[in-house]
A and B are shown apart, each in its own frame.
Chain A
């Protein structure tokens, strides 16, 4: 940069490189449609926009593909492998949720290999995890004739924080008489929600929602390794000591009920939870100007949980502590 005097000398020679345009305002062209990619799925030719996933392509043909760890508002981690499909030329099956379409792909979504892998994934999960509050998973199990009992009766539950203290690279040799599970005591350490990791299929959704995909709080992550891998706070401290801000977005994305509103958990324990007696009311959160869509789940004229529809352009399913949990003032304190 020259001195001031140099600049003032230069000034008279300045010119507009781009003169101010005259005439009508230019129009913004319509965004060009993404070029289409042609592929064959189950013998049917189809074409979908470049950049689509195989899951989107199968959906466009009306083919149902089971998913557990996939959710539209999260980055695919393709960890559950229940969405695998057979791709010609590929040694292994590929996950539909994250594999991008390529021209000329030939895909089978219901071949014997696909059905076996899906069935095995479901059996592996149902034989090691409590899937009693995972209706989708149960529905898939029927569809793929999963028989989790063929691995033997469930093994004994972990006591106390045994699973949290598991050391990578070491385990007690099994005798095979029972099937190892992740059963463990439920974690109840705050008023708003509970963590029942006996029901956790390790889909990573809560970690993503807590972290980069929604909340950017990073209160939970995967710890440990292998079958001992688990969702944990740092040093497994109780939630109130962690970075948790109680947005409840982890509950919103949990597919198995491992993360649950405390209200729902207590009603289930008391045997009073009755979805058939519940109604859903759509409304707008009144706390701030963002205007998040709320879906109130109501039983016996009381709010029992609050979700937000994933289709909502405002929330994409995510809320904050106020919208998610700040409804106690609406009703009488729960009788204990």
Chain B
């Protein structure tokens, strides 16, 4: 392949931004070889440079953060350094919502208008923003500021939320929740004057149960200093790793399998089967990936764990790596989680310094290290194979399965992918043994589960309860229905989940009993809507979300999500084509085609919440 570049050249600042990730370079050679004879004749350094394609996403982040957008010259330079055809890099840069390939003001307020925030005044906030800064997308502050609407920012317990990104020499990402126009504008002003914005502590109150003796996964919440490994160890941290090294890989895998731990990311796949497959896979190396790309609307449990107990995630990943023969792990972290990024970055550094990460862990022969990779605003990258493509520097499009990641995963190698919450369960399984662990919960759903309560509940936040607790008991634990006090519906499992009626609240929260009523626990979302909420608007937002987040690769999802949104709009506006029954029939057909024929879980579940809403009679708007 000959690399063909347009004539656009990078500015000094853009060049520095790229070099900050790839190192300095004389001639774009990653090996540093410089020769005057090569000027103009060689763009890059063959295999060595091409092997670094996985650095494309970090490079794009660096350019975006420095410049506020990715210019042709900057992208050309990145392509030259990495030997990537510019058309492919352009395809990647235009895939992510947090990147812009058109000039854009450096300071951007992303105001969440997704469903949890919607139930907490997001529309009022957006109209306040319009009053202060003009219509979404317009420039203000002498062209340095703009704002636009954003999908769920994962701050649902303190809705409504906003995120301010400021590009420049001192780039920053600030989340403000609960947000109001004045608070957002204050931060924008600080950023304009290049002052670090003052924001109060982010996680206070996110775990209303904090301190309770019944907590297991959340037992350290508010009890340790999340920035201190000493504090984590004093609270019993790293005992599980010590125990794991005594057990050895095979025994760890046996314990995880015997515990019947099921994946907590939404698909509920038995973790033991994955671990065993990767551990026994012949191809080398093996990779471990922690999926922290939590983007399901209404989900924030992983964020709270990453922010408040980051060492637990590092320890659990280390155990997983040792058990399955991985020497390298990645945390794929949502781009919208700045505090989690800071805490995890610090945790990795401290763990390395303490000899708990890197070569010869705890003096043992095992070695394992972890790298953080940030997403850039694409829900689809939470799908495991899309996540691999994203890390590898390709568009975040899911791959066809089989082959499954345990055989052909990241970089084509056997890969263990687990969600954050799934992983931290392993600590107790290793420490207590699978039998004690499996004694909690129900026969088929063992252990405890984190739930994200938001919307109209008195005390929103992350809650931990044993499997089998009823939905009603969980909502009561969160102080019951807030708002008007009259519940209209509950969304269980997220935008890819199902709506339940107040009559279904006695459902025990287990994988098996939710499946029996055609629902799913999904990512643990429990979003309560009181009877003042216009459910039609909620459903339109869900439909718009899937239309926005479809990667566009397969026809059923790419066009189906568009047709679904169009249909709901005309149905709710009572401008149907043919009769209402015709439209409902068509909605069913669209849903079934997406469910049956889409490549990945996004398309397969894009109609789930909407179809369930139709079933329980939420299409008629306000119900009193």
Interface residue ranges, A against B (CB under 8 Å): 77-82, 84, 92-93, 95, 98, 100, 113, 116-117, 120-121, 124-125, 127-128, 150-152, 165, 167-171, 173-177, 179-180, 201-202, 211, 216-229, 232-235, 237, 241-243
Q: Which residue of A lies closest to B95 (CB)?
A: A225
Q: B552 in the interface, Cβ–Cβ < 8 Å?
A: yes
Q: Which of A98, A113, A218 contacts B87 (CB 8 A)?
A: A218
Given the interface pairs A173-B544, A224-B552, the reply to whether A121 lies near B561 with Cβ below 8 Å is no
5 contacts between A and B (CB under 8 A): A168-B95, A168-B378, A168-B548, A169-B151, A176-B573
Given the interface pairs A120-B597, A177-B575, the reply to whether A225 lies near B555 with Cβ below 8 Å is no
Given the interface pairs A81-B556, A202-B558, the reply to whether A150 lies near B85 with Cβ below 8 Å is no
Q: B549 in the interface, Cβ–Cβ < 8 Å?
A: yes
Q: Is the CB of B597 within 8 A of A117?
A: yes
Q: How far is the CB of A53 from chain B (nearest CB, A)?
A: 12
Give Cα A232–Cα B87 distance, bound, in whole angstroms: 7
Q: Is the CB of A81 within 8 A of B569?
A: no
**With a CB–CB cut-off of 8 A, which chain A residues contact B89?**
234
**With a CB–CB cut-off of 8 A, which chain B residues contact A221?**
85, 87-88, 90-91
Q: Is the CB of B562 within 8 A of A180?
A: yes
Give Cα A77–Cα B399 distance, bound, in whole angstroms: 9
Give Cα A227–Cα B582 distance, bound, in whole angstroms: 25
Q: Which of A78, A168, A177 contacts B97 (CB 8 A)?
A: A168
Q: Which of B85, B378, B395, B599 contacts A218 (CB 8 A)?
A: B85
Q: Is the CB of B596 within 8 A of A180?
A: no
Instruction: Please provide the 4 A-B residue pairs with the shortest distance between their CB atoms, ordered closest to farther.
Output: A176-B570, A229-B552, A169-B97, A218-B85
Q: Is the CB of A171 within 8 A of B563?
A: no
Q: B341 in the interface, Cβ–Cβ < 8 Å?
A: no
Q: Is the CB of A93 within 8 A of B87?
A: no
Q: B472 in the interface, Cβ–Cβ < 8 Å?
A: no
Q: B274 in the interface, Cβ–Cβ < 8 Å?
A: no
Given the interface pairs A81-B597, A84-B597, A227-B559, the reply to whether A243 lies near B94 with Cβ below 8 Å is no
**With a CB–CB cut-off of 8 A, which chain A residues contact B582?**
150
Q: Which of A95, A128, A241 contacts B6 (CB 8 A)?
A: A241
**With a CB–CB cut-off of 8 A, which chain B residues contact A171?**
544, 547-548
**With a CB–CB cut-off of 8 A, which chain B residues contact A223?**
87, 90-91, 94-95
Give Cα A240–Cα B378 distance, bound, in whole angstroms: 32
Q: Which of A175, A225, A227 contacts B573 (CB 8 A)?
A: A175
Q: How far is the CB of B335 from chain A (nearest CB, A)?
A: 12
Q: B566 in the interface, Cβ–Cβ < 8 Å?
A: yes
Give Cα A116–Cα B100 distance, bound, in whole angstroms: 39
Give Cα A48–Cα B85 distance, bound, in whole angstroms: 39
Q: Which of A100, A176, A217, A237 has the most CB of B within 10 A?
A: A176
**With a CB–CB cut-off of 8 A, which chain A residues contact B550?**
225-227
Q: Is the CB of B378 within 8 A of A225?
A: yes
**With a CB–CB cut-off of 8 A, which chain A residues contact B97?**
167-170
Give Cα A95–Cα B553 distance, bound, in whole angstroms: 14
**With a CB–CB cut-off of 8 A, which chain B residues contact A174?**
562, 565-566, 569
Q: B201 in the interface, Cβ–Cβ < 8 Å?
A: no
**With a CB–CB cut-off of 8 A, which chain A residues contact B559?**
124-125, 127-128, 227
Which of the 9-residue segments B12-20, B239-247, B284-292, B587-595 touches chain A? B587-595
Q: Which of A77, A168, A224, A229 has the most CB of B within 10 A?
A: A168
Q: B102 in the interface, Cβ–Cβ < 8 Å?
A: yes
Q: Is the CB of A173 within 8 A of B548?
A: no
Give Cα A120–Cα B563 distance, bound, in whole angstroms: 11
Given the interface pairs A124-B556, A124-B560, A225-B552, the reply to whether A117 lies near B4 with Cβ below 8 Å is no
Q: Is the CB of B555 within 8 A of A180?
A: no
**With a CB–CB cut-off of 8 A, which chain A residues contact B616?**
none
Name the interface residues of B48-97: CB closer than 8 Å to any CB of A: 72, 75, 85-91, 94-97
Q: Is the CB of A92 within 8 A of B596?
A: yes
Q: How far is the CB of A200 from chain B (nearest CB, A)?
A: 12
Q: Which of B102, B150, B395 has the most CB of A within 10 A?
A: B395
Q: B377 in the interface, Cβ–Cβ < 8 Å?
A: yes
How does the 8 Å CB contact mask read for B270-306 relative to A, with 1 for contact and 0 for none?
0000000000000000000000000000000000000
Given the interface pairs A168-B96, A224-B552, A235-B101, the reply to whether A218 lies near B1 with Cβ below 8 Å is yes
Q: B422 in the interface, Cβ–Cβ < 8 Å?
A: no
Q: Is the CB of B87 within 8 A of A116?
A: no
Q: Which residue of A lies closest to B400 (CB)?
A: A78
Give Cα A104–Cα B254 distance, bound, in whole angstroms: 30
Q: Which residue of A lies closest to B86 (CB)?
A: A234
Q: B554 in the interface, Cβ–Cβ < 8 Å?
A: yes
**With a CB–CB cut-off of 8 A, which chain B residues contact A82?**
555
Give Cα A169–Cα B97 distance, bound, in whole angstroms: 6
Q: Is the CB of A235 within 8 A of B555?
A: no
Given the interface pairs A176-B569, A226-B551, the reply to whether A235 lies near B558 with Cβ below 8 Å is no
Q: B475 in the interface, Cβ–Cβ < 8 Å?
A: no
**With a CB–CB cut-off of 8 A, which chain B residues contact A80?**
554-555
Q: Which residue of A lies closest to B377 (CB)?
A: A169
Q: Which of A95, A121, A232 contacts B593 (CB 8 A)?
A: A121
Q: Which of B151, B558, B590 contacts A120 (CB 8 A)?
A: B590
Q: Is the CB of B555 within 8 A of A125?
A: yes
Q: Which residue of B lies closest to A204 (CB)?
A: B553
Q: Which residue of B lies closest to A114 (CB)?
A: B596
Q: B567 in the interface, Cβ–Cβ < 8 Å?
A: yes
Give Cα A268–Cα B168 distance, bound, in whole angstroms: 52
Q: Is the CB of B2 within 8 A of A117?
A: no
Name the interface residues of B120-179: CB closer than 8 Å to any CB of A: 148-151
Q: B30 in the interface, Cβ–Cβ < 8 Å?
A: no
Q: How far is the CB of B538 from chain A (nearest CB, A)?
A: 14
Q: Which of B553, B562, B565, B596 contacts A117 (CB 8 A)?
A: B596
Q: B540 in the interface, Cβ–Cβ < 8 Å?
A: yes
Give Cα A228–Cα B562 distance, bound, in whole angstroms: 11
Q: Is the CB of B151 within 8 A of A151?
A: no
Q: B230 in the interface, Cβ–Cβ < 8 Å?
A: no
Q: Which of B547, B553, B554, B593 contacts A116 (CB 8 A)?
A: B593
Give Cα A150–Cα B589 distance, bound, in whole angstroms: 12
**With a CB–CB cut-off of 8 A, which chain B residues contact A77?**
553
Q: B448 in the interface, Cβ–Cβ < 8 Å?
A: no
Give Cα A237–Cα B72 distance, bound, in whole angstroms: 11
Q: How far is the CB of A161 from chain B (nearest CB, A)?
A: 11
Q: B577 in the interface, Cβ–Cβ < 8 Å?
A: yes
Q: Is the CB of A117 within 8 A of B569?
A: no
Q: Is the CB of B1 within 8 A of A216?
A: yes
Give Cα A272–Cα B12 distance, bound, in whole angstroms: 55
Q: Which of A121, A216, A223, A225 has the most CB of B within 10 A?
A: A225
Name the interface residues of B565-607: CB closer than 8 Å to any CB of A: 565-571, 573, 575, 577-578, 582, 586, 589-590, 592-593, 595-599, 604
Give Cα A116–Cα B585 distance, bound, in whole angstroms: 13
Give Cα A221–Cα B568 distance, bound, in whole angstroms: 33
Q: Is the CB of B563 within 8 A of A151?
A: yes
Q: Is the CB of B551 within 8 A of A225?
A: yes
Q: Is the CB of A150 within 8 A of B599?
A: no
Q: Which residue of A lies closest to B76 (CB)?
A: A234
Name the interface residues of B399-432: CB closer than 8 Å to any CB of A: 400, 402
Given the interface pairs A78-B599, A80-B555, A235-B101, the reply to whether A117 lies near B593 with Cβ below 8 Å is yes
**With a CB–CB cut-off of 8 A, which chain A residues contact B554?**
78-81
Q: How far is the CB of B53 from chain A (nearest CB, A)?
A: 13
Q: Is the CB of A176 within 8 A of B567?
A: yes
**With a CB–CB cut-off of 8 A, which chain A residues contact B540?**
173
**With a CB–CB cut-off of 8 A, which chain A residues contact B85?**
211, 218-219, 221, 234, 243
Q: Is the CB of A227 within 8 A of B556?
A: no
Give Cα A169–Cα B150 distance, bound, in whole angstroms: 8
Give Cα A230–Cα B599 distance, bound, in whole angstroms: 18
Give Cα A118–Cα B238 distance, bound, in whole angstroms: 53
**With a CB–CB cut-off of 8 A, which chain A residues contact B544?**
171, 173
Q: Which residue of A lies closest to B100 (CB)?
A: A167
**With a CB–CB cut-off of 8 A, which chain B residues contact A151?**
563, 566-567, 577, 586
Q: How far is the CB of B420 from chain A (nearest CB, A)?
A: 23
Q: Which residue of A lies closest to B4 (CB)?
A: A243
Give Cα A216–Cα B85 distance, bound, in whole angstroms: 10
